[in-house]
Amino acid sequence: MITSTFCLLPGIGIRTERRFWREGISTWDEFLVAREVQGMSAARKTLFDDRIAEAQQRYTRGDSRYFATAVAPRHQWRLYEWLRERALYLDIETDSFGQITVVGLYGRDGYTALVQGESLGLVRLREALSRYDLLVTFCGSTFDLPMLRAHFPDLLIDQPHIDLCGVGRQLGHRGGLKAIERRMGIERVEVPQGFTGHDAVRQWNRWRHQRDENGRRLLLAYNEADCVNLQPLADAFYCRLVQASGLGDVPVGPISQHPSATTS
C-alpha cells in the first residue's frame, strides 16, 4: 500500500490520490513513467518525480524512519504490510500516581515486560525500541508515547507509529481496546473476565507493597494481552482500510501463534 501512496506529495490529498488511481496511476513506478498527469504542470510533475524517486530509494533501503515524517500520522497505517515483520506492539501500565510500572513490548522475539524497579530504564528501553522499525499502539499518541517521553526525555522514538484507536475511528469503531476486541472476536488468554486498568493498578500495589507473586502475574498477563492482541487488530484494520480504498486484495501474512512470554 505504501508504494501506492501519493499523500506524501505536497498538496496531494486523498481525493487527488484516488483520481490518480482511477486514471491508471496506482503505484510510484506508474507515476514516474507517465510523461504527464492530467491537470498537472510539467514543473510540478518534475518536482513530484523527485519526491517519489527519493521515497522509492528510501523504501528500497528499508529506511522506515524516513516515512515517519514523510507520511502524515493519519496515513501511516499504509506502512503496515511493508513493516509488519519489523513491528513492535507496545503498551504501558501506570500506578495511581501516574508513574510507569510496566512497559510491555511484543514483536518478533515474543513478549517482554520491562518492570519498574527491575528492568525498566533508559538503556534497556532504548535498546529494545531501536531494534524495530514500526510502533503499533492503542491510544499511544495521547497516552503511551507522551508518558514515555515525559519519563525518559532522552529516549529517541523516531519510528513510524500506527495508533489503532485513530485507525479504528476511520472504520467507525468507538470505545476502548477491549470493547473493540469483543466486537472483532479477538479473545484474551490468561486474563480474568472483566479485568481492567484499575485492576492492573491494584495488582501492582499488591506486588509492590506485599510482594504478592500472583498480583505480579496477573498484571503482566493483562499487559501481555494488551500488547499481543494489537497484532490481529492491526491485521484486520489494515485489510479493511485497503479494501475501502478500492485498490483490491492485500496479501497480509497469517496471524502467528503467540510465542511464550518472557519477562525481564
Whether residues 53 and 89 share a domain: the answer is no
**CA torsion 172→178→182→185, rounded to 10°?**
90
> Is 258 domain-assigned?
yes
Q: At what angle do helices 230-245 and 177-184 cross, to 10 degrees?
A: 70
- Nearest partner of 144 among 164, 130, 171, 124, judged by Cα: 164
Whether residues 49 and 11 share a domain: the answer is yes
Whether residues 101 and 40 share a domain: the answer is no
Q: pLDDT, tens digit, for every residue of 156-177?
A: 999 999 999 999 999 999 999 9
Distance between first and last Cα of the chain: 36
CATH label of the domain that carries residue 35: 1.10.150
Looking at per-residue pLDDT, the higher value among 112 and 255 belongs to: 112
CATH label of the domain that carries residue 243: 3.30.420.10
Q: pTM of the predicted model, to two decimals?
A: 0.91
Q: pLDDT, tens digit, for every residue of 203-216?
A: 999 999 999 999 99
Average pLDDT over residues 192-206: 91
Cell of 262: 518472557
> Is 72 domain-assigned?
no
Domain boundaries, position 183: 81-263
